[in-house]
Chains A and B, each alone.
Chain A
Amino acid sequence: MADPATGGEGNRPALALHVPEPKYRPGDKADFSHIDIGAPGDQPRPDEGIHPSQMAGLAYGLVRVLGDDNLAHGPWNPRLSPETLRAMLGHMALVRAFDERMFRGQRQGKTSFYMKCTGEEATSIAPAMALASDDMIFPSYRQQGILIARGYPLIEMINQIYSNKADKLKGRQLPIMYSSREHSFFSISGNLATQCPQAVGWAMASAVKGDSRIAASWVGEGSTAEGDFHSACTFAAVYNAPVILNVVNNQWAISSFSGFAGAERTTFAARGLGYGIAALRVDGNDALACYAAAEWAATRARGNHGPTLIEYFTYRAEGHSTSDDPSGYRSAQEREEWPLGDPVTRLKNHLIAIGEWDEDRHAAMDLECAERVKATTKEAEKNGILGHGLHHPFHTMFEDVYEELPWHLEEQAEQAIRERIAKFGTERPFG
């Protein structure tokens, strides 16, 4: 081994390992002025059939629509109607209210776990609104906004979070790992990035059958380091799959800043170019830009022009989950200093600026969202909360492992039920 004091062998210089370090740690004053966010409206909007090799500017730049003047600028303005904008704002407000309430529910011991999407609402809600309702979504765990935008009943979400007797997943899944076939929302897995090649496969299947539906997956920037992401990009490019691969770059993967996923040297969008995939990098806190990018990619996919990778440049405003405390690894100031602001505030201010909204209506909407979530939570709690009783018959634990129960699961189910009776004296101790 080389002596660190004298350097490497002979005259060769000693090598040095680079370990990325975020700019700010707890106690530091955050300053993001080094981040080039460009100007709203400064990126061109090419034809959807463009060859990826012509998209370098879009992969390294930032597509932005909403300016500091709260008005929409440039060719990416999706020109949405005020009704659509208000619906979008409404979904974002509802998700925020939902997150607040569920986070509190976890702290009150009503469930084991929760994850907020605060600050990232636009990256799920706006693209979901740009897709058709039967386009297939392969989400990660931070796209609850898609379910809200697709009208999935809040009570079903809460039942799942509480793992109660009305939980459609029968208490089998960790909270927030939703699934809804009816809403074309794929079952969420704890294993990161596995949904990316699955989305590509779904899109390939749609193409095999001559269907017109497309698929879209969501993954965090941290998870792009997984092999599955590489597989997904390769297969998407090879088969020209009608898929949108969304990367939500919220700067943090639990305690690891995006540098550990490679962000110091390139953008996540730029990776698409290497595979021959169309690539857009978008202001993830600008709901109009998010909508426009997804709409562009969907049009491209539907026209058989192939896949698109979209990087949503945003910031994870809260902790990773209820099990995380970000004050242990990052500056408390980051959220306020984030140069792209807050997606809800920006969309609200836009609607106000174009004369389609006002502070009073907004306050009333926030109140209504909070009331609605509160009332629905109370309703869901009638179905039980985690830990208060065993909500599902023990036999259900053995169902759906296979289509039919093989002998060994039937035997184990009998054992479990025997244990239940031994403990409670009855198979139905909780009614």
Chain B
Amino acid sequence: MSDLIPSVGDAVLEERRLNMIEAINEALDIMLTRDPDVIIMGEDVGYFGGVFRATAGLQAKHGKTRVFDTPISECGIIGVAVGMGAYGLRPVPEIQFADYIYPGLDQLISEAARLRYRSAGDYIAPMTVRSPFGGGIFGGQTHSQSPEALFTHVAGLKTVIPATPHDAKGLLIAAIEDNDPVIFFEPKRIYNGPFSGYYDKPVEPWKKHPDSVVPEGYYKVPLGKARTVREGEALTVLAYGTMVHVAEAVCREKGVDAEILDLRTLVPLDIQAIEASVAKTGRCLIVHEATRTSGFGAELSALVTERCFYHLEAPVERVTGFDTPYPHSLEWAYFPGPVRIGEAIDKLLKD
């Protein structure tokens, strides 16, 4: 748990608590105020304030030339943002769902990611692409995907995924200030409250969670640094986004003394934190919602195996979505929930 955050029941409870949407909205507001070169654009982000309300009120406050709606063209949104970055602006385009980022892929992979390299620093793409991602909301095939591995595979892009309101604000500010193009995936399942994975139990709002205490004003959570969610001895859990909370709930339920790392940034990855933790526990469980084959978990597994081999007491385990498109009615059979995670933990701790 972050040392900034008081535990529930403390006197400091009066501190401001925000959900993830409010934290993101505040980060954008702060950056629009601090830096006149920050521009927000995307489908429905202007007058309406975004389909998830992440940009609510920003156009009214900062004006139509700073926060505006765009045509429905992800290729155009990203392409135009690259041009704005070349001019000297710091665009923060939104892609309404990560499932719809693909029409912008050529502009992201061939242009934004390579611009600094191919021009030897003549031109840069200091943009932050915000996009809601992940499942658990009955979003079916095209409102649930977790395409992070497509982006971690691209040299030149940074990929960031927050798991708490506190981090969402601090990481987003850091991403916007970063001079490299950042893919900022927001786990929409936890916009309003952390999700335990026990879909048959009532959902708690963020206001009851200690990580919803969000300091006012400007602060950054540095890119490339993982967060230790809880310290433990039995095994290391590597997770990000929604799955941080699911893994935490399952470990709590099973009484497993797990050390849980919220990776926060996938590229650049906090390899030191991972190595130190696995060296201590000797066991590693990787959890992500995305499909299994060639998912980011494969990279994590390979890194742990290469760098911590002599500390490992069991094979690295991966708990992921299945290698199918994201189903609608069978969502909870697809989602890597408590049963799948529980089995993997049992397997890891067997000997």
Contact = CB atoms under 8 A, between A and B. Distances in A.
Interface in A172-213: 172-173, 177, 179-181, 186-187, 189-191, 194, 196-209
Interface string A280-313: 0000000000000000000000000000000000
Nearest to B88: A205
Interface in A50-91: none
Interface in B93-121: 103, 106-107, 110-111, 114-121
B198 interface: no
A198 B120 contact: no
B110 A186 contact: no
B71 A197 contact: no
B86 interface: yes
A218 interface: no
Contacts, number: 148
Interface stretch (B49-57, B77-85, B233-241, B243-251): B77-85
A302 to B, nearest CB: 16
B87 A400 contact: no
B73 interface: yes
A179 B224 CA distance: 31
Given A197-B75, A232-B76, A169 B118 contact: yes
Given A401-B155, A403-B180, A234 B73 contact: yes
A401 B83 contact: no
A187 B115 contact: yes
B156 interface: yes
A203 B80 CA distance: 9
Q: How large is the interface on B (under 10, 10 to 19, 20 to 34, 35 or more residues)?
A: 35 or more
Contacts of B122: 179-181, 187
Given A181-B123, A201-B80, A400 B107 contact: no
B54 to A, nearest CB: 21
A401 B116 contact: yes
Given A169-B120, A181-B123, A191 B80 contact: no
Contacts of B124: 403
23 contacts: A138-B83, A172-B117, A177-B118, A186-B86, A187-B122, A187-B123, A189-B114, A191-B106, A194-B79, A197-B83, A200-B79, A200-B80, A201-B84, A203-B83, A204-B83, A227-B103, A228-B79, A228-B106, A231-B76, A232-B79, A400-B121, A402-B116, A403-B180
10 shortest A-B CB distances, which residue pairs? A201-B83, A197-B79, A231-B76, A201-B80, A406-B268, A205-B87, A198-B83, A187-B119, A202-B83, A179-B119
Interface of A: 136, 138, 168-170, 172-173, 177, 179-181, 186-187, 189-191, 194, 196-209, 215, 227-228, 230-232, 234-235, 238, 400-403, 406-408
Interface of B: 39, 65-66, 70-71, 73, 75-76, 79-89, 91, 103, 106-107, 110-111, 114-124, 155-156, 158, 178-180, 224, 267-269, 271
